[in-house]
Structure 1
Amino acid sequence: MERHTPAFASSIRWQSANVISQVCLQLLFIMVLARLISKADFGVMSIALVVVGFVEIFAQIGIGPSLVQRKDLQIRHVRAAMYFSIGLGLAFFALMYCAAPQIGIWFKSDALVNVLRWVALSFILSSIALTPRSLLVRHMDFKRLFTAAMIAMIIGNLGIGLGLAYAGYGVWAYVAALLSQNAILSICFWWMRPRGTENLWGIWRWNDLLDMLAYGGRSTIFNWFNYAATKADTVLVGEFAQSNPTTGGGWTATGLYDRSAHLMSLPITILGKLGDSVLFSGMSALQTELQALQRVVFRGIELIAWLVIPISLALAWFSSEVAVLLLGAAYADAGPIVRILFIGVAFRSLIKLADAVVRATDQLVPAIAIKIAYLTLLVLTIYASLRSGHGLEGVAWAVTICTILQFLVFYTWLGSALKWKRMKAFRATAVGWLGASIAAPGYLVIDFLMPDWSHNGVHRWSLIIKILLIAIWTMVAFIAVAVRNPSVIDGGDLKIRAKWTAYLPKWLIKRIKK
């Protein structure tokens, strides 16, 4: 199957619209759901999703990335991947159904067993959707991916999920939202799959599959350790909270931490999904062209740093306001936890780009070693924090510090892997630190002049106005950096520069470097 030439500009536009729309709809879903179901319900569901997520990585064995990354993909490879993935989905559903009681015993929760068994249906639904979705990513057809995602989220999350939550179904509303969204996605992906893939039903051979399993196996190991590194904190908090209900807080504490971690993950989700689709697909096509790959990665680091580092500073500075605005007053005590976790947002987002480079260029073995070291350090520090009585804030500090260390190691390695001069990968982040230094004085003034949301008598609109002022000042910081370093937006292309600068005041255009 011929790979389409990577149309980065069009692809990034559509996938950016896709990801941002998904995050906004998911945020709306969580904002309303947090006011309709309890923290304990979120706690049960968070553990179920983590357990299923761990297993689902093996249920796919890297088949999806193999379909995207492989240069000489033929229809026989696609057919073999489809049958194999569906077979694995059925097998892992049966495995999770049987293992659910033992997992419930480990977490000391009978409620978790039935939730796990229902959520495990996502193995089957995801396996059905895997092949057509991977082909759409390979062809960079993000317009169709956008359409499918919007249909599924509006009907599944906002319609079915919130409807059942309002009717009082608690955690089962969340389960129904997840399963209905996955089912609708499967239908849409098959309906919208690329041309030339109509004849997928037929005989397949093991040899066609084995061609892809070598890369898929390495990708699976990398993805498993990557996923484990992002979910170890939730698992350890859940196990400790259930084992020590008096001091640990039970499912309520798990739900509180999970929602805090979820807020932290929202910006990372945007970058992660862009990396998993546009950047991964495009860099896979450029994997043998070193100079072109170097340019794409450098621009990617600059762009992510420019956007995420100032945002990370704003989120950490005003974490209590963000938690109350998005989750409600019941989550006011999440503020200190969220503040610590938000410090790591920029570093995690930049690591996501490195992950995409690793998978696109098949540099998986050294990356797996880095992930293993990070996961080991993370588990040890979280465990020590919980046992020493530092609570959820101690866990958040452990996660943030380990994330910064992973960033430093990963980007040191990335520079050598791309044959860059020493520290070039780090220098690419300079525009982000410049933006943060411009934004910080404004945040200080806003924080000083605006009343604290928690004071009695402060109207909710005061909080909303404060958030709007923060957003406006953050935009000012973005523009200031772009004026000083316009290549962060246009990559030095003067035609593109003329288009985006046309929206700026004339006095500001004169200050932009040519």
Structure 2
Amino acid sequence: MTQLTSVTVQGMRWTYLAGVAAAAVQIPYAAAMARLLTPEDFGLMALAYLVPRFAHHFAHGGLGSAVVQRPSLTGRDVRVIFALALTVGSCCSAAVWLMAPYGTDLLRGPSELTGMIRALALCLLITALGALATGLLSRSMRYRAVALTDFSSFVVGYCVVSITSALLGAGVWSLVYGTLGWNLLQALLSYALVRHTLRPLFDMRAMREVMRFGGKVSLNGFLEYLTTDLPKLAIGRYVGVTAAGLYDRAALLASFPLQQVQQAASKVLLPALSRIQHETGRLAASYADAMAVTALVLFFLWAVIGASSEQLVALLLGTQWRGSAELVPLLGLVSVLGLVAQFSGTLLEAMGAVGGKVVIHLVQLLVLLAGTSVALFLGSGVHGLMIAVLVSQLVKQALFYVWLNRLFPTARRPVAQGYAQAAALSGLTWAALWSVQQMLEDSCPGPVILAGQLAAAAALGLCCVRYGADLHGVRAARERGLLPAAFARTSPRGQ
């Protein structure tokens, strides 16, 4: 195992540990907030966050990715990037502040929405200034520091602040305060670990050079925002705030554990892949193995969440959120497809080939717009909009698959095999959990049924890891040292 592989594996372990810990905290947090606030509150917050998210990717400017991906980085570059972050973050924050009343009119929200949007606009400046420190941590492959910073800021800045504010009667504003606290603490902790210079250098030529790459990353992020949040906007505008709240909580329950897995992988893989961006053979092997592992884990988790969604919603959120349960399986599948595609995007970003991502995201957006228009015309409600989102995600996944297979022909067969095995495992898992529910639902309460389903899923997952050597994802995880020694029967393969 090479030094780069060893550092990457250690980074994966730290980021996955932080992701699991964050998911463990998120569960009781979501349960508590679901009982302290109403669906209308969450719907209002979801709509308020749409407007700042519109400018978020431009405020961020792809600066973190630009710091990581650049072959070399000097002290002068750091000063230039800080100046760029200060300029773009300030401009975007001011623009959202001015746009807030028009955003409220577009979303047909109450007047309170304007104040919430303006408060959240501060996050744009905070995240822009923190992007440089975060990028420097990732570039130096200090994964332990990144993991601890992410976890600490989420728990203290978001969960503690939100729950405390809600208990004090802040209502929907408790979610705003938590979001501000999360972003501020993460930026401060990252800076404390790096302590880069705070002297900006306004060199327009150098700033334009940074933006050649960072701007494309921002454009891709903006298009991802449109494809992700367009359904939420349509639901809030045409179906209602309560429906938007139910959708928001269902999306959280369906996607949060999956996002922790994918985000942990992306934080580690972008720096690692950037260092071998010109070594086609190693990139092809890394692509095939990472896709197999990612797909296997994400599809398995989706099956667990989807098959037990009724019991999960009732236990974690309460009876007032029953309408979210039927949305969880479909939203989970949408999330899995989107997150698997994000890995493809991370690989292309590490190679500097971000222009093609723009084309793929534009095609996805056009498909989504067409599907949304049809769903609204037919009056098919939330479910029709979800089908439109699913179709657009399938199109994006297919385009990434075709493009990457052309770049790495040797990876075509193992990647297809990884997808097929992940789909088969998810089907087997769903069938097992459905069978448990059928056996217990007439004689046991919901929590007991959920415990039985989770026990069955855990047993199936352990058997898969222990005895599934024929699965590409399991084999790759063993060979690359991602599993504990007890599960690794084969010798590690150097990257």
> Do they superpose with TM above 0.5?
yes
State the partner residue of 2:292: 302
1:230 to partner: Cα distance: 1.4
State the partner residue of 2:206: 208
Of stretches 393-402 and 61-70 in structure 1, the one that deviates more from structure 2 is 393-402
1:174 to partner: Cα distance: 0.4
State the partner residue of 2:342: 352
Contact 2:16 2:261 in 1 (8 A): no
CA distance in 2, matches of 1:198, 1:392: 47
1:257 equivalent among 247, 252, 257: 247
1:156 to partner: Cα distance: 1.9
CA distance in 2, matches of 1:328, 1:395: 25
1:492 to partner: Cα distance: 6.5
1:488 aligns with 2:436: no
1:371 equivalent among 361, 367, 370: 361
State the partner residue of 1:176: 177
Contact 2:305 2:329 in 1 (8 A): yes
1:60 to partner: Cα distance: 2.2
Flag structure 1 segments of 5+ consecutive residues without an equivalent: 241-247, 503-508
CA distance in 2, matches of 1:339, 1:360: 32
Distance 1:38 1:497, change over 3 A: closer
CA distance in 1, matches of 2:483, 2:151: 32
Aligned-partner SS, 2:27: helix
CA distance in 1, matches of 2:142, 2:332: 33
2:392 equivalent among 386, 402, 413: 402
Distance 1:288 1:49, change over 3 A: same
State the partner residue of 1:221: 219
Distance 1:210 1:54, change over 3 A: same
Contact 1:54 1:224 in 2 (8 A): yes
Q: What do the CA deviations read for 1:155-190 (whole angstroms, capped 9, x no partner)?
A: 222322101112221111001111112111121111
CA distance in 2, matches of 1:462, 1:35: 21
TM-score w.r.t. the length of structure 2 is: 0.91
Contact 2:150 2:186 in 1 (8 A): yes
Contact 1:436 1:477 in 2 (8 A): no
Of stretches 490-499 and 253-262 in structure 1, the one that deviates more from structure 2 is 490-499
State the partner residue of 1:134: 135
Distance 1:404 1:477, change over 3 A: farther
CA distance in 2, matches of 1:115, 1:338: 27
CA distance in 2, matches of 1:361, 1:253: 41
TM-score w.r.t. the length of structure 1 is: 0.88
Report the AA paired with residue 14 of structure 1: W
1:435 equivalent among 411, 417, 425: 425
State the partner residue of 2:71: 71
Report the AA paired with residue 56 of structure 1: H
CA distance in 1, matches of 2:422, 2:481: 24
State the partner residue of 2:458: 472
State the partner residue of 2:33: 33
Distance 1:182 1:343, change over 3 A: closer
CA distance in 2, matches of 1:307, 1:200: 41
CA distance in 1, matches of 2:23, 2:483: 29
Distance 1:153 1:424, change over 3 A: closer
Q: What do the CA deviations read for 1:273-313 (whole angstroms, capped 9, x no partner)?
A: 13431111111111100111111111101111221222222
Of stretches 369-378 and 205-214 in structure 1, the one that deviates more from structure 2 is 205-214
State the partner residue of 1:239: 237
1:489 to partner: Cα distance: 4.5
Report the AA paired with residue 205 of structure 1: D
1:158 aligns with 2:159: yes
1:269 to partner: Cα distance: 1.4
Report the AA paired with residue 464 of structure 2: F
CA distance in 2, matches of 1:112, 1:139: 40
State the partner residue of 1:115: 116
Contact 1:442 1:473 in 2 (8 A): no
State the partner residue of 2:493: none
1:333 aligns with 2:319: no
CA distance in 1, matches of 2:402, 2:78: 37
Q: Any residues of structure 2 matched to 1:277-316 within 5 Å, and which?
A: 277-316=267-306
1:24 to partner: Cα distance: 2.9
Distance 1:383 1:477, change over 3 A: farther
Distance 1:417 1:483, change over 3 A: closer
CA distance in 2, matches of 1:477, 1:48: 44
Q: What do the CA deviations read for 1:188-209 (whole angstroms, capped 9, x no partner)?
A: 111111xxx6445264522332
Flag structure 2 segments of 5+ consecutive residues without an equivalent: 491-495
RMSD: 2.5
CA distance in 1, matches of 2:251, 2:230: 12
Equivalent pairs counted in the alignment come to: 486
State the partner residue of 2:147: 146
Whose relative contact order is higher, 1 or 2, with alpha carbons under 8 Å and at least 6 apart?
Answer: 2
Report the AA paired with residue 61 of structure 2: I
1:118 to partner: Cα distance: 0.5
Distance 1:137 1:393, change over 3 A: same
Distance 1:234 1:403, change over 3 A: same
Distance 1:392 1:287, change over 3 A: same
